[in-house]
Chain A
């Protein structure tokens, strides 16, 4: 029973700011139907949304694979974008490589990855220049 999970997949379209947040919205809706505590839903929402918006801005889109268990959620974000050259730098709050026009739009403040790490209980990022980036997050429900 405890090993059962709900699997969801979302395609995140690149350069489409209108649809950014729709995967987060769908996941939130599922968690609300499950009766997960609102504070946990908020952590999932922020981590998921930051991940989505990252893929939109930097990677030309990607996929989000979500497994929802009784007591946790596993989120895997995968893109075939340009990759991150310096992961250590990218994890620093305020560091941003977002194009200027995107920063003017109010995105790309350099808080995406740090926020994902902050709100996820388990955070792992793998990236290779020219290949893409994979982020794995787990959030436990209190």
Chain B
């Protein structure tokens, strides 16, 4: 581990909460390494290894691994034993997993059958978030273009690499945090002892697992356990197929449901100049463009690291595009209205960040700028002599990354480019 980089190691438990490697299955191929959006992966001793300081939890490596060696972290279903009174928060993306689902109450009722005492729809909370967002945009309270912070992988990326854009961030809690906050209060108001209450989120992606465990934008985490959509799906299907009575539980409108797909959030605020990008590489292009000032006329930007939005998360079971089609189909059967803030009787401040997320200097080569410059010059020097074909044989995702690893001391100074060595020996 590089000395400087270990100094900036801020969140050591990321290793527990984003992705893990099954070393038995990893073949040491370059697939995940080449596509990691923050170049956080290196192949060392024939196995992929993640620099968790740079991991944004997007799940791209999980999605791409052809050997199923990358595992997203989440809590197991056994954690249902951990609390006496269990509140479950199902996300909009969950409803896209089921074939022929025409009534959300079937899913919600089945969740209660599985042992949860209460459900609170994240999509409902999303509608409140949309109302607050609209107010802040109407009043121009945030610098334009306002960038959504609902996708925690994108938020993490901005905190690492786009410090310029801090003022453009929408300082509103993620719908899941709002749902957890409201649901917990409601249970306490019913007289349930606070220590008995466990709030469980069913997550489509590892980024949300990490964000909820750490508590991003909040003083302390509101969610106690984070389960996966895939685990929930396996348990829900048999119960849903044999459901005797369906309770009337859902309050969410089509607006909240559409948060599960890209554009759902942007469309819910009823402003004209909006952008919605999905897929982490596309989001990076938009963030670069905002930095360059070429999107100054845009009011709101929704960014989802996963293709098609949250239905594209790696902890889902269904193909993102199939799930998206189902959500649209389902939305047509639902109320087109929106739940208003006045229904919950909370002020706008209730929904805004309690604590601003911290920027992270993980890409700075050295705290001392002269030293950083020397490393950069050394890096250019090394890079100029490399084949510049980005083959990945050395274990770095590109020749430039290899040059940077050498210059910054992440790998020993005498490390050679295997491709050049091979040519020499021929």
Decide: A39 near B164, CB < 8 A? Known: A1-B370, A32-B363, A33-B363.
Answer: yes
Chain A residues with CB under 8 A of B372: 33-35
Return A50 CB to nearest CB of chain B, in Å: 8
Closest partner residue, chain B, to A46 (CB atom): B293
Closest partner residue, chain A, to B365 (CB atom): A33
Chain B residues with CB under 8 A of A48: 292
Pick the most buried of A34, A46, A48, A50: most chain B CB atoms within 10 A of its CB: A34
Residue B376, interface by CB 8 Å: yes
Residue A38, interface by CB 8 Å: yes
Chain A residues with CB under 8 A of B377: 4, 6
Chain A residues with CB under 8 A of B164: 38-39, 41-42, 45
Q: Please state if B292 and A46 are interface contacts (CB–CB under 8 Å).
A: yes
User: How many of chain A's residues have a CB under 8 angstroms from any CB in B?
Assistant: 26
Secondary structure type dominating chain A contacts: helix
How would residues 4 to 34 of chain A score, 1 for a CB under 8 Å from any chain B CB and 0 otherwise?
Answer: 1010000000000000010011001010111
B391-424 with Cβ < 8 A to chain A: 404
Q: Please state if A30 and B376 are interface contacts (CB–CB under 8 Å).
A: yes
B281-322 with Cβ < 8 A to chain A: 288-289, 291-294
How would residues 97 to 139 of chain A score, 1 for a CB under 8 Å from any chain B CB and 0 otherwise?
Answer: 0000000000000000001000000000000000000000000
Pick the most buried of B288, B373, B375, B404: most chain A CB atoms within 10 A of its CB: B373
User: How many of chain B's residues have a CB under 8 angstroms from any CB in A?
Assistant: 26
Residue B367, interface by CB 8 Å: yes
Q: Please state if B366 and A35 are interface contacts (CB–CB under 8 Å).
A: yes
Secondary structure type dominating chain B contacts: helix
Q: Please state if B292 and A35 are interface contacts (CB–CB under 8 Å).
A: no
Number of A-B contacts (CB under 8 A): 70
Q: How far is the CA of A46 from the CA of B164 in the complex (A)?
A: 12
Decide: A35 near B361, CB < 8 A? Known: A41-B164, A42-B164.
Answer: yes
Decide: A49 near B369, CB < 8 A? Known: A25-B288, A35-B364.
Answer: no
Chain A residues with CB under 8 A of B376: 6, 30, 33-34
Chain B residues with CB under 8 A of A45: 164, 291-293
* A residues apposed to B, CB below 8 Å: 1, 4, 6, 21, 24-25, 28, 30, 32-36, 38-39, 41-42, 45-46, 48-50, 53, 68, 70, 115
For the complex with contacts A4-B377, A32-B161, A34-B372, 14 further pairs of A-B residues with Cβ separation under 8 Å are: A6-B377, A6-B380, A24-B288, A32-B364, A33-B365, A33-B376, A41-B163, A42-B291, A45-B164, A46-B293, A48-B292, A70-B369, A70-B370, A115-B293
